[in-house]
Amino acid sequence: MNQEKTVLMTRGAVIAALYTALTLLLHPISYGPLQFRVAEALTLLPFFLPSSATPGLFLGCLFANLFGGGGIWDVVLGSTATLLAALWTARCKSRLTAAMPPVLLNAVLVGGMLWMLHFQGTTVPLWLPMVEVGLGQMGACVGLGLPLLRLLESRFPHWCERADWQDLPRLGLGRRS
């Protein structure tokens, strides 16, 4: 295995460990019908680190949901939502649009799952848990994730794994000069 692959795997493992640890340490606010996962701030990392953050986030979410007590639906749907969001985020061309995939996919997939598990057969409308999850995601992604991304871009530009990174600033979409 060459050094580059080792670096990517190590970064992915660190991201997975951080996601899992943050989610489990903040268990009371990370699970359930009303949730605010601080670890979701990391879901913007595929914009900057697509090769290592995508598998790292998927595994971190998988482990967090496996140990979080949400059941098989949370393990499968939550982890799938995170993987799809990471793949979509990696294709985004700007920081701001990079925050949209985790917000939208989690709102729909996780919000729908929470409604099915907790509110189906009640008077709670399907859209309510979707909006609640979306708002929590927006807080984590926009409020915490965007500043984290800006910090990484300014302090560690040499970590960037994007092939098109040099094109983004000229388009006014990437890091600021």
Quick count: other Cβ atoms within 10 Å of Cβ 151?
10
Domain coordinates in residue numbering, the chain: 3-163
Q: At the topology level of CATH, where does 3-163 sit?
A: Arp2/3 complex 21 kDa subunit ARPC3 (1.10.1760)
Q: Which two tokens stand for residue 55?
A: 């598998």
The pLDDT assigned to 168 comes to: 60
Express each pLDDT in 23-34 by its tens digit: 999 999 999 888
Q: Count CB-CB contacts under 10 A for residue 108.
A: 14
Please report the pLDDT score of residue 163 as a whole number: 80
Is pLDDT of 59 > 90? yes
